[in-house]
Amino acid sequence: MSDQPMFVLVTTGPVSEVVTRGDWVDRTTYPWTEGPWDDEPDKVVWVDSFTDLDCMIVRNHSGAWCGYVGVPPGHRWHGKRYQDIDYLDVHGGLTFTAGCEPGTPLCHTPVAGRPDDIWWLGFDCHQYRDRAPGTDAVERGVFGRHPFADDWDRFGDEYAGDQPTYKPMSYVLVETVRLAVQVNAPETP
């Protein structure tokens, strides 16, 4: 495996930023095993052509994907806490809102002519039944055998449908665009 991932990126508009290996992702404390994440970047920022909203997907510290849609000043949700926003149908529900945080992965390089004072509405794929590359180390027993490991071994086949699954970049891109469409919908009376 090379140090640089090989991936095909299909977005719904112009891409302004791709980070292949972000220094905020901890690949040391919780060593990643080989998996579908090997050939994916750590961050992608683009403008969705259908909604004209800024979109971003970025890995959190454990490697799970998070998706964000940026709303410009004047949007009804700009500056609101996620708890105060009407229900939006996205993986795990909204779990984050904030402006750009310079010097962190939660900031973007705007496409020329686009506002940089956007408010990110986000979700994460580190929910119940979600698998993250960095948390696999715990399940593999890197830090000792998990107290429920015997139960997993004994009941593994019976509960196979309950096993966590990794949500790949392609899934998170689609969920992010679905969120953008909902965010762009007109307010209903």
Q: What is the dihedral of CA 110, 115, 119, 120, to 10 degrees?
A: -20
Per-residue pLDDT tens digits for 39-60: 889 999 999 989 999 999 999 8
Distances (CA, A) of 189 to 37, 80, 184, 186: 42, 19, 15, 9
**pLDDT at residue 51, rounded to an integer:** 92
Task: Answer whether residue 142 shows pLDDT above 70.
Answer: no
d(Cα 60, Cα 78) in Å, to the nearest integer? 23
C-alpha R_g of the chain: 18
| C-alpha of 150 from chain center | 32
Confidence of residue 140 (pLDDT cuts 50, 70, 90): low
**pLDDT at residue 165, rounded to an integer:** 87
**pLDDT at residue 139, rounded to an integer:** 63
**pLDDT at residue 179, rounded to an integer:** 96
**pLDDT at residue 79, rounded to an integer:** 96
Per-residue pLDDT tens digits for 77-93: 999 999 999 889 999 99
Per DSSP, 161 falls in state: G
For residue 128, what are the contacts with CB-CB under 8 A and spacing of at least 6? none
Task: Answer whether residue 19 shows pLDDT above 60.
Answer: yes
Task: Answer whether residue 124 shows pLDDT above 70.
Answer: yes
**pLDDT at residue 137, rounded to an integer:** 63
Which carries the bigger pLDDT value, residue 39 or residue 157?
39
Per-residue pLDDT tens digits for 89-118: 999 999 999 998 888 888 888 888 888 899
**pLDDT at residue 161, rounded to an integer:** 56
**pLDDT at residue 75, rounded to an integer:** 95
Q: What is the pTM of this model?
A: 0.81
> Is the dihedral angle over the CA atoms 118, 184, 127, 9 positive or is it negative?
negative
